[in-house]
Amino acid sequence: MALNIPLATAAANATVAGLPDKRCHNVYLEPDPTDPKNETVLVETPGSLQRNDFSGACRGMWQADGHAGGKILVAHGTTMATYDIGTNTAGTLTGSTAGTDNGDFAFTEDEGFGLFDGDLYVSDGTAIAAVTDADFATLLSDAGATAFTSVATMGQRGLFTYGPRFGFTAVLDLDNTTALNYYTAESSPDDLVAGRVLGELYYLFGTQTIEVWAQTGDDADPFALQPGMTQQVGCLSRSGIIKTDNAIMFVDVDRNIRRLGVGGSEIISQPWVTRLLKQADVDEILGFTYVDEGHIFAGWRTPYGTAVFDVMNAQWHTRGTLNTDTWRYTHVVKAQSRIFACDATGQFDELSRDYASESMPNATTTGDVIQRMFSAFLPAGHFETIPAVQLIVSQGVGTSASDALDPLIGMRISVDGGQTFTAKRNRKLGEQGVYDEATIWRMNGSALRRGVVFLFEKTDPVKAAYKALQRVDA
């Protein structure tokens, strides 16, 4: 009877040297209700199809059905571009934005409210322009602040943070405020990193605290602090805050990922994720989120790696682009069940598990190779000879494409806790329609007391799924 060797179901870097890492790189765990013996399977992260090439680095992407005809807004350079998902065509809003930083954007019923380089902007769906009401500048100077730090909308008003205060606009008039339209964070004099709306509440993320405010229904005094809901937790950056799964997740000042809760915010990141975030500057940490086939993904990208939390399984995996330290895409947006991503060069692509490689020029031409990696661990026992192993994997996945006719998967072995590995040995996954190709590695050498780490790698542009690793008779 074949015995399973557990595949890693999540990524994790070892806490101390001498212990093996767990790899789930460009793969993630998914339930498999069709198999009573192996109830989960590792599936592959999406590839991508080129949709447009904008001229500058992406500064953010947003979409609302009622704004600009439902087009995606893509900030790049000083331009606010649009992308029509119905016709797959790009356009541009009249006007320009300042700076090179990551922007912030929110929507009311008929306007868009933006923030770029510390300045506020308003869009009617055809144009974008800086706010002109002098009272906005008065609010800044009265607080001793030099820039706004975030925008949001609630009750058809615009909300904006600056210093330790937040201000608000008139209803359905984002370019209109007064010098008295502001509140000061009450529980602490800390500066506000950002304000975010979830449901009927406005959360003020400060450097030391999180306050919760709600509407009062009184036009003269429209917001009120909610007693008993303040948390003594600081937030690191606006770009690290994401809204997903009817919750808010954020990076705290110690570089942990937290899920906002009532009365407290639990840490959901593991130590290796925190260590990854500590390598990056504050403005290099970019959060993103999207939903795909029941999975809710919350990710944080840095130049040194990208960590993604799958809410379905409460598991982490990593994503990356071949021959780089991290995933190429800096911003992600979902619009009408389609998922789009843009990178630091302005390349705008559509993500889907239908695509087998990255940034494909068209649906049939291979793009950049995606390296899929995952590991398995066999604890030390009374054996010296490493057993022959078979990877239970989808077979016959070859295609008619010249670079995917006879796809391969490679395996390396480590007997010193993942410090060093053998050379890669490739095995076949099966040509198209060849479903009985056994993916077996024999003559695997010997091991002592450290156990055996098996590391698998696939780069051929075919879609596969990985069920189990089994010992087999030699």
Residues 6+ apart with CB under 8 A from 223: 168, 183, 202, 213, 214, 215, 216
Of 139-148, 162-171, 219-228, 465-474, the range with the lowest mean pLDDT is 465-474
> What pLDDT does residue 1 have?
46
What is the tens place of the pLDDT at every residue in 396-452?
A: 888 878 778 899 999 999 998 899 999 999 999 988 888 888 999 999 999 877 889
> What pLDDT does residue 371 have?
98
Q: How many CB atoms lie within 10 A of CB 98?
A: 13
Q: Which fold has domain 4-44+371-472?
A: Jelly Rolls (2.60.120)
Full-model pTM: 0.95
Average pLDDT score, the chain:
94
Copy the structure tokens of residue 149: 């730090």
Angle at 239 between CA 180 and CA 122, to 5 degrees: 45
Beta-strand (E) ranges in 10-70? 24-25, 27-31, 40-44, 47-53, 58-62
What is the tens place of the pLDDT at every residue in 176-193?
A: 999 999 999 877 778 999
Strand partners, 341: 332, 349
The domains of the chain are located at 4-44+371-472, 47-352
In angstroms, the CA 258 to CA 267 distance is: 4
What is the tens place of the pLDDT at every residue in 104-128?
A: 999 999 999 999 999 999 999 999 9
Helices (H), 113-155: 134-142
The secondary structure of 292-313 as a DSSP string is ETTEEEEEEEETTEEEEEETTT
What is the tens place of the pLDDT at every residue in 197-218?
A: 999 999 999 999 999 999 999 9
Q: What is the mean pLDDT of residues 34-50?
A: 92
> What pLDDT does residue 54 have?
96
> What pLDDT does residue 263 have?
82
> What pLDDT does residue 449 have?
77
Q: What is the mean pLDDT of residues 241-263?
A: 95
> What pLDDT does residue 302 have?
98
Asked whether the domain spanning 47-352 has the same topology as the one spanning 4-44+371-472, the reply is: no
Q: Which fold has domain 47-352?
A: Methylamine Dehydrogenase; Chain H (2.130.10)
What is the tens place of the pLDDT at every residue in 295-318?
A: 999 999 999 999 999 999 999 999
What's the chain's length in residues? 474
Query: How far is residue 222 from each of residues 140, 187, 204, 409, measured CA to CA in Å?
Result: 20, 19, 16, 61
> What pLDDT does residue 474 have?
62
Four-point Cα dihedral 290, 372, 462, 45, nearest 10: -10
